[in-house]
Amino acid sequence: MQSFLNLLDKSENCVFLSGAGISTFSGIPDFRGSNGLYAKYDANRIFDLAYFHKDPSYFYTHAREFIYDLDTREPNLIHRTLVIMEKKGYISSVITQNIDLLHQKAGSENVIEIHGSPANHRCLSCGENYSYSDVRDLLEKETVPHCTRCNGLIKPDIIFYGEMLDETAITNAIAVSSKADLFVVIGSSLVVQPAASLPLYSLKRGGTLIIVNNMPTPLDEYAYLKYDELGDFFNHLSSYFNE
């Protein structure tokens, strides 16, 4: 751990990339783990745009269990430590694959959500915007929320399969990664794009890659340090920053 702390002290531009592994500590199931959501639901349907148009109730019925219950989830030690590190100037940005809003709830300011976010929803017919809590209210009355203006179908601003990525978020993520002299991956197996290639932008400019994940990743051979235990890693980090 000391070697990581030394790198962190020297770093002038440190970026963290977080994946589903960090949310499991808040009781949110990982998508790809053995008890993951994809073992329970059909991943090819739940976040598939074409299927959403065909049968939006499939998404909304299941999403009640892991998206529309997020106000009952609390940020954990990992989210809170990242906030302290940002406030103390050790982190410039957090890029996240997560759609659970927990970095923001904890108080992180520079968060880039590369898979979108359920904080905003939009009517697919007239473009009217709905907040997360608007949609939660609508879901108490109907299985699939419809636009109160035009009765169109409402979709969260989460990036579904078959959908264009959010260009602004991706451009920002690439820009901060390209500037990072220390790039720390936490709780991501780096198998999904665009997250999988973001560390390469840092490596290309001579940055140092650190991976903290309990499963192998395709970029392990490029990592200067690799840790398996996310919980231990953050226990150390948090005691260092709370001193």
- Annotated catalytic residues are 115
Q: How far is the CB of 134 from Zn ion (least distance, A)?
A: 12
Give the bridge partners for 226, in sequence order. Answer: 211
Contact 76, 30 (CB under 8 A): no
Q: Which two tokens stand for residue 137?
A: 């209210």
Report the chain's terminal Cα–Cα distance, integer Å.
Answer: 16
Q: Does 134 bind Zn ion (CB under 5 A)?
A: no
CA distance linking residue 243 with residue 237, whole number of Å = 10
Nearest approach in angstroms of CB 215 to Zn ion is 42
Cα three-residue angle 186-33-161, rounded to 5 degrees: 85
Instruction: Name the one range near Zn ion by CB under 5 A: 37-45, 76-84, 152-160, 167-175.
Output: 152-160
> Which alpha helices (H) appear in 153-194, and where do they start and end?
167-179
Nearer to Zn ion, 147 or 186 (CB): 147
The span from the CA of 239 to the CA of 233, in Å, is 10
129 lines the binding site for Zn ion (CB under 5 A): no
Looking at 152, 172, 174, 214, which residue binds Zn ion (CB under 5 A)? 152
Find the part of the chain contacting Zn ion (CB under 5 A) among 64-72, 102-110, 127-135, 180-188: 127-135
With CB under 5 A, what is the number of residues at the site for Zn ion?
8
Region binding Zn ion by CB under 5 A among candidate stretches 33-41, 98-106, 110-118, 126-134? 126-134
**135 sits near Zn ion (criterion: CB under 5 A):** no
Which x/- pattern over 162-201 shows residues binding Zn ion (rule: CB under 5 A)?
----------------------------------------
Q: Are strands 154-158 and 116-123 parallel, antiparallel or unpaired?
A: antiparallel
CB of 71 to Zn ion, least distance (A): 25
Whether residue 214 contacts residue 238, with contact meaning beta carbons closer than 8 Å, is answered with: no
